[in-house]
Structure 1
Amino acid sequence: MEIKSYTTQAELLLRNYILADSSALYTSVIGSICACKMVYDLSQVISALYFKSYSRLSKSQKIEWNNRAISTFHAIFITTMSLYFVFWSDLYSDDRFATAITLRHSVLSTFALGVSFGYFLTDLGMILWCYPSLGGLEYVVHHLLSMVSLIYAMLTGEGQIYTYMVLISEATTPAINLRWYLDTAGMKKSRPYLINGIVMFFSWLVARILLFMYLFYHIWAHYDQVKQMQTSGLCLILVVPSVIAILNLVWFWKIFMGLKKTLAKRH
Structure 2
Amino acid sequence: MDIKSFQNHAEGFVKHYLLADPFLPYTSVLAGIFLSKMAYDVTESFSSIHIKSYFALTNTKKIEWNNRGISTLHAIVISLIALNFVFFSDLFSDQRSLQGLIVFRSSPLSNFGLGVSVGYFIADLGMIIWLYPSLGGSEYIFHHCLSGVAVAYSLFSGEAQLYTYMVLPSEVTTPEINLRWYLDISGLKLSKAYLINGVAIFLAWLTARILLFIYMFYHVYTRYDQVVVMHTFGYLLVFVVPIALSVMNLMWFGKIVKGLMKTLEKRQ
Deviation string, structure 1 residues 18-74 (Cα, Å, up to 9, x no partner): 322743420011111111111111111110100000000011110110000010000
Q: Which residue of 2 aligns with 1:87?
A: 87
Deviation string, structure 1 residues 75-121 (Cα, Å, up to 9, x no partner): 00000000000110010101122311111111110111000000011
SS in 1 for 2:133: coil
Task: Please give the alpha-carbon distance, in whole angstroms, between the structure 1 residues aligned to 2:194 and 2:21.
Answer: 48
Q: Which residue of 2 aligns with 1:65?
A: 65
Task: Please give the alpha-carbon distance, in whole angstroms, between the structure 1 residues aligned to 2:242 and 2:47.
Answer: 36
Do the aligned partners of 1:102 and 1:229 also contact (CA within 8 Å) in 2?
yes
SS in 1 for 2:23: helix
Q: Which residue of 2 aligns with 1:220?
A: 221
Q: Which residue of 2 aligns with 1:143?
A: 144
SS in 2 for 1:251: helix
Q: Which residue of 2 aligns with 1:244?
A: 245
Q: Which residue of 1 aligns with 2:210?
A: 209
Aligned-pair identity (%): 56
TM-score calculated relative to the size of structure 2:
0.92
Structure 2: state its 5+ residue gaps: 1-13
Structure 1: state its 5+ residue gaps: 1-13
Task: Please give the alpha-carbon distance, in whole angstroms, between the structure 2 residues aligned to 1:203 and 1:232.
Answer: 31
Do the aligned partners of 1:15 and 1:107 also contact (CA within 8 Å) in 2?
no
Q: Which residue of 1 aligns with 2:110?
A: 109
The residue identity in structure 2 corresponding to 1:80 is L
What is the RMSD computed on CA atoms of the aligned residues? 1.4
SS in 1 for 2:97: coil
Residue 134 of structure 1 deviates from its aligned partner by 0.7
SS in 2 for 1:208: helix
SS in 2 for 1:76: helix
Deviation string, structure 1 residues 174-225 (Cα, Å, up to 9, x no partner): 1000000000100000000000000100110000001101011110000001
Residue correspondence of structure 1 range 1-267 to structure 2 within 5 A: 18-20=18-20, 22-98=22-98, 99-267=100-268
Do the aligned partners of 1:104 and 1:160 also contact (CA within 8 Å) in 2?
yes
Q: How many residues are matched?
A: 255
Q: Between Structure 1 and Structure 2, whose CA radius of gyration is higher?
A: 2
